[in-house]
């Protein structure tokens, strides 16, 4: 049986932030489980700083079906967790079930990955204190005000926590997270 790994999404999760790790998990022999506030279809978006713009432009992206609602998750059934970016983290970070799940994975020292705005979830759950993370520059404040250290690099490894700034870093940090998941899988066999 393939080990299950959570991918955290909501409406306006960034498409590339979400889909690249989703398919990499399948490729590496894991079962990605998309988790969200409710079990339903979610609209993802595409984010990019358009040439000549100083802010992020947003376009509609693909949709994704959530396999499970946060309230129904027993985190002990999962090997690791991924926090996708986009605008969703800002809106879902206060969900008490998501906070419970997040604290579980950090306490267990399980393989965790975060990209872009995904940092807002572990920051809200008070799990970034003393941790080094990459995130999109505009979320630096969220990380630092919650006690974390911002690192402007495409892959930041802080023990069990792997992070990248944006989807442009997918090729740098997702592989490091998959490696941690592989190590955790071997230990659990």
β-pair partners for 56 = 49
pLDDT tens-digit profile, the chain (189 residues): 899 999 999 999 999 999 999 999 999 999 999 999 999 999 999 988 888 888 888 889 999 999 999 999 999 999 999 999 999 999 999 999 999 999 999 999 999 999 999 999 999 999 999 999 999 999 999 999 999 999 999 999 999 999 999 999 999 999 999 999 999 999 998
Q: How many domains does the chain have?
A: 1
The residue segments making up the domain with residue 150 are 4-188
Nearest to 34 by CA among 72, 64, 14, 1: 64
* CA angle at 31 for the pair 166 and 183, rounded to the nearest 5°: 75
Phi, psi of 31 (to 5 degrees): -105, 105
What DSSP state is assigned to residue 154?
Answer: S
CATH no. for residue 42?
3.40.50.880
Here the tokens at position 104 are: 């579980």
């Amino acid at each position: 049986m393939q080990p299950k790994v959570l991918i955290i999404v909501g409406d306006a999760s960034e498409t590339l932030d979400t889909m690249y790790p989703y398919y990499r998990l399948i490729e590496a022999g894991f079962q990605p489980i998309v988790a969200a506030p409710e079990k339903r279809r979610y609209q993802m978006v595409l984010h990019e700083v358009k040439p000549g713009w100083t802010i992020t432009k947003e376009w509609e992206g693909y949709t994704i079906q959530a396999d499970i609602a946060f309230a129904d998750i027993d985190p002990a059934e999962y090997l690791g967790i991924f926090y996708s970016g986009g605008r969703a983290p800002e809106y879902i970070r206060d969900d008490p079930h998501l906070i419970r799940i997040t604290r579980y994975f950090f306490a267990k020292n399980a393989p965790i990955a975060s990209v872009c705005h995904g940092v807002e979830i572990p920051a809200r759950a008070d799990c970034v204190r003393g941790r080094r993370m990459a995130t999109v520059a505009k979320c630096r404040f969220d990380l630092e005000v919650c006690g974390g250290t911002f690192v402007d690099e495409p892959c930041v490894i802080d023990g069990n926590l792997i992070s990248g700034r944006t989807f442009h870093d997918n090729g740098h940090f997702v592989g490091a997270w998959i490696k941690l998941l592989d190590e955790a899988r071997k230990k659990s066999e």
